[in-house]
Amino acid sequence: MQEIQLLEKKAKSDKKLFEKYDLNPFGYKVNQAKHYLVSYFSRNQLKGLAVISSSGSVSQEEFEQSFEKLTLLNALVNQLDKEGSKRVKLEMFPFEKIRDYLRIHMKSSDIGEEEKRLSESVLSMMMKSLDMQKELVNLFENYNKKVEDIISGKGYFVDEDVEEIFEIFIHFDYTQFQQVSMLHKNTDTVDRLLESTPSSKMNAEIKEYLLQFSSSEKQNMKQQLEKVAYVENQDELPEEKYKEVVRTSFLQRVESLNNKNRKLIRNNVN
């Protein structure tokens, strides 16, 4: 409690008139001292940044190291909390209904060869999507547990913690992209299944679910992919290269934002 009060006092000391400040709860340890990022706002616009420590003044070296790690950690946490939480809440009911329907449909005695082949392809796609979703949920739960354990435990992050969260983010990004990319590439298969299956074998509910993965949704899927892509033809990259691109691109984005915000820093460092 005493440390928090001291940090609050230091954060307030750099606050200007009519500003509000946000003391980030994530501490980063450098030279046996915990450092924290403070952001200052006025009318919802970022007006200032500072790195503070309850142990005293912050040296140039401590500032540079802490600022780099704290802004990276903040960017990762914001991205996972905002986009990751949305993704893990994705409604998977349509995938499950199609899976269950196709499992039964493929056992029909009068199913044609083409119809069966297409059913197998779409079933495989639904199964892979569900498996990927489970993986995304597990990754997000591991991330939340990691952060909660640190905050309630030692109370600060070190390089290994930041790297572990970065790895979770990269793996999450890769899995999410592969999930949407697979659906985007297979809309034609869904179209052909819809065309080859007699309406007597497929009720309106299943048809409606399948239409969500047909070519009518291809443009929407493409936009989703473009929104999260870092480079062109990202879907063609092997896994390790993909993850390397994500790491490099994300670091460049954080560095670019840090360079832009250098003028807002209120520490007595250059």
Q: Which residue has the tokens 């995304």?
A: 136
pLDDT by residue (tens digit) across 252-262?
999 999 999 99
Round the average pLDDT of the chain to a whole number and report it.
94
Task: Indicate the pLDDT class of residue 49, thresholds 50, 70 and 90.
Answer: very high
- What per-residue confidence (pLDDT) applies to 269? 60
Task: Residue 49: name the closest of 30, 77, 68, 34 by CA.
Answer: 68
Q: Residue 141 class from Cβ within 10 Å (0-12 exposed, 13-18 middle, 19+ buried)? A: exposed
Residue 184 tokens, joined: 């985007």
- Going from N- to C-terminal start, the domains of the chain cover 2-59, 73-261
pTM over 0.85: yes
CB atoms under 10 Å from CB of 52, counted, come to 26
Please check the confidence at residue 200 and state whether its pLDDT lies above 80. Answer: yes
| Six-digit token string for 224 | 């989703």
CA 181 to chain CA mean position, Å: 16
Give the pLDDT band (50/70/90) at residue 4: confident
- 163-178: pLDDT as tens digits: 999 999 999 999 999 9
Q: 11's torsion region: left (phi>0), alpha (psi -120 to 50) or beta?
A: alpha
Number of CB atoms found within 10 A of residue 160's CB: 8
